[in-house]
């Protein structure tokens, strides 16, 4: 789902599918994360169709949005999961996901996380360093099992995205330098408790063009050929996630654009037999959600105008963390022309607490606003900073509404804390 099709104005009011956001604000309060079930299905379908019936495993990059209802929905549609922690593995299991479709990425896998992943029989560890490879081999030997491994290589390509979400350049912390990968594969081959199953790379996020993927793929193909010469035959190639979505006026490449080009390159290299693994996160959920909020106050400091809303950087940190742009739409837009340019800010005591800057809107106190494209890296990055309860999450399915995480209660924010004697 690369555009927010399931959030449209009907009779002058913004809806999620067939439910008005005014109704949701009334029933559940604000701030509120609102997701569209149909948008989740559409996103899955866009990958499923792009696969053209070939052996493709979509391992949803679940750090984008890991609500159990969303994980369960994707699991029922057939996805696997790309996890980056033992906590995420526990979520997959709680959401009835299939561990044998789980790939485990991340530079800092701890012993307990590796043990849990081996016990759950995951599909593969995406190994990011020699030290990690050795730790996995040791733990697998202790358990008397073979650990399935891929090396996550760093292909040193520019994903042409924001530096904080670019991961495939040689000065990023991620992956193993592709130039030394043949030697590390050879080392892995000598370790009896490792089973070499694949090759992995993930070059960044919010990538809108396919050229960075193809630059990386070209290098991966050369590596796979070299491994074949070393007698190492892989089962799968994982090209990571990272496809972008439309936040404003981007025209991101689609899964079909990407996969058609990938299949063509693999077939040309006689590698069409490899299973293709993908790790899309943002493009599966980003435009399936909005953050609904209400204007508490309007205020002007000389010629600067602020709309102070009840959502804040603790609910959506992307603007202040990445200078990310999210569209802000009035739930019930007024007809007369807007002339005032507002910064949309939250109540948190930080100048960095803003959601959008310089937006021309016609606002009054009490208005509802929808911060668009808040399905990915919104709730999962939320905190309780300023002792703000994390907002509720609902999923709309046509006329129905499911509360999939209630608003946190104040007492729950500190109930586990203890006073000194």
Q: Does 279 bind ligand PLP (CB under 6 A)?
A: yes
Q: Does 61 bind ligand PLP (CB under 6 A)?
A: yes
Q: Which of 59, 124, 201, 349 is catalytic?
A: 349
- The sign of the dihedral angle between the CA atoms of 61, 65, 71, 74 is negative
User: Which residue, 236 or 282, has its beta carbon nearer to ligand PLP?
Assistant: 282
Q: How far apart are CA 312 and CA 263, in angstroms?
A: 43
Q: How far apart are CA 316 and CA 374, in angstroms?
A: 8
User: Which residue, 202 or 359, has its beta carbon nearer to ligand PLP?
Assistant: 202
Q: Looking at 40-48, 58-66, 186-194, 304-312, which segment touches ligand PLP (CB under 6 A)? A: 58-66
User: Which residue, 239 or 345, has its beta carbon nearer to ligand PLP?
Assistant: 239
Q: How far apart are CA 71 and CA 123, in angstroms?
A: 17
Total chain residues near ligand PLP (CB under 6 A): 16
H or E, element range at 341: strand 341-345
* Sites for ligand PLP among residues 93-122 (CB under 6 A): 105
Taking CA atoms, 329 is separated from 78, 225, 252, 312, 355, in Å, by: 34, 51, 21, 16, 12
User: Which residue, 20 or 205, has its beta carbon nearer to ligand PLP?
Assistant: 205
Q: For the beta carbon of residue 193, count every other beta carbon within 10 angstroms.
A: 18
Quote the least distance from Cβ 279 to ligand PLP, whole Å: 4
Quote the least distance from Cβ 157 to ligand PLP, whole Å: 15
Binding mask 283-322 for ligand PLP (x = CB under 6 A): x---------------------------------------
Q: Looking at 87-95, 222-230, 256-264, 277-285, which segment touches ligand PLP (CB under 6 A)? A: 277-285
In contact, 326 and 318? CB cutoff 8 Å: yes
Q: Does 41 bind ligand PLP (CB under 6 A)?
A: no
Strand runs labelled E in 7-135: 7-10, 13-16, 19-20, 32-36, 56-61, 80-83, 102-104, 124-127
What angle separates helix 130-143 from helix 181-189, to the nearest 10 degrees?
10
205-215 in b/e burial notation, b at 16+ Cβ within 10 A? bbbbbbebbeb
Quote the least distance from Cβ 327 to ligand PLP, whole Å: 19
DSSP string across 394-411: EEEETTEEEEEEPPPPHH
Q: Which of 41, 282, 318, 326 binds ligand PLP (CB under 6 A)?
A: 282
Q: Does 63 bind ligand PLP (CB under 6 A)?
A: yes
Q: How many CA atoms lie within 13 Å of 278's alpha carbon, on the beta-carbon side? A: 28
In contact, 150 and 200? CB cutoff 8 Å: yes
Binding mask 195-214 for ligand PLP (x = CB under 6 A): -------x--x---------
Q: Which of 97, 168, 175, 241 binds ligand PLP (CB under 6 A)?
A: 241
Q: Does 240 bind ligand PLP (CB under 6 A)?
A: yes
Quote the least distance from Cβ 283 to ligand PLP, whole Å: 6
Q: Does 281 bind ligand PLP (CB under 6 A)?
A: yes
In contact, 47 and 280? CB cutoff 8 Å: yes
Active site includes 124? no
Max Cα-Cα span within the chain: 72
User: Which residue, 36 or 193, has its beta carbon nearer to ligand PLP?
Assistant: 36
Distance from the first to the final alpha carbon of the chain: 54
* Sites for ligand PLP among residues 67-96 (CB under 6 A): 82, 84
In contact, 143 and 319? CB cutoff 8 Å: no
Q: Looking at 213-221, 227-235, 237-245, 408-416, which segment touches ligand PLP (CB under 6 A)? A: 237-245
| Catalytic (active-site) positions | 349
Binding footprint of ligand PLP on the chain (CB under 6 A): 61, 63-64, 82, 84, 105, 202, 205, 240-242, 279-283
């Amino acid at each position: 789902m690369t555009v927010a099709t399931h959030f449209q104005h009907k009779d002058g009011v913004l809806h999620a599918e067939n439910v008005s956001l005014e109704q949701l604000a009334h029933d559940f309060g604000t701030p509120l994360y609102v997701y569209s079930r149909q948008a989740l299905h559409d996103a899955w379908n866009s990958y499923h169709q792009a696969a053209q019936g070939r052996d493709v495993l979509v391992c949803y990059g679940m750090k984008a949005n890991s609500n159990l209802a969303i994980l369960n929905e994707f699991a029922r549609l057939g996805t696997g999961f790309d996890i980056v922690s033992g906590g995420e593995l526990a979520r997959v299991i709680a959401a009835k996901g299939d561990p044998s479709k789980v790939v485990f990425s991340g530079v800092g896998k701890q012993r307990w996380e590796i043990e849990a992943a081996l016990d759950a029989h995951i599909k593969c560890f995406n190994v990011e360093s020699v030290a990690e490879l050795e730790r996995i081999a040791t733990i697998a030997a202790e358990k008397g099992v073979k650990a399935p491994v891929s090396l996550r290589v760093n292909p040193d390509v520019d994903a042409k995205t924001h530096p904080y979400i670019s991961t495939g350049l040689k000065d990023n912390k991620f992956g193993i330098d592709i130039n030394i990968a043949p030697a590390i594969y050879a080392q892995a081959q000598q370790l009896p408790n490792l089973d070499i199953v694949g090759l992995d790379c993930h070059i960044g996020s919010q990538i809108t063009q396919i050229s960075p993927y193809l630059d990386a793929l070209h290098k991966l193909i050369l590596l796979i050929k070299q491994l074949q010469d070393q007698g190492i035959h892989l089962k799968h190639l994982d090209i990571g996630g990272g496809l972008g979505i439309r936040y404003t006026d981007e025209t991101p490449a689609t899964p079909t654009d990407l996969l058609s080009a990938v299949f063509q390159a693999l077939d040309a290299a006689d590698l069409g037999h490899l299973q293709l693994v993908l790790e899309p996160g943002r493009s599966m959920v980003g435009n399936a959600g909005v953050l609904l909020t209400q204007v508490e106050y309007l205020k002007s400091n000389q010629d600067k105008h602020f709309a102070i809303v009840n959502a804040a950087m603790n609910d959506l940190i992307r603007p202040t963390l990445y200078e990310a742009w999210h569209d802000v739409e009035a739930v019930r837009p007024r007809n007369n022309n807007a002339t005032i340019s507002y910064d949309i800010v939250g109540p948190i005591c930080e100048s960095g607490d803003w959601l959008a800057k310089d937006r021309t809107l016609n606002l009054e106190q009490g208005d509802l606003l929808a911060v668009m494209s808040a399905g990915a890296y919104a709730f999962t990055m939320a905190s309780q900073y300023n002792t703000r309860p994390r907002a509720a999450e609902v999923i709309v399915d046509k006329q129905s509404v499911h509360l999939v995480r209630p608003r946190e209660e104040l007492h729950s924010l500190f109930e586990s804390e203890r006073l000194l004697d």
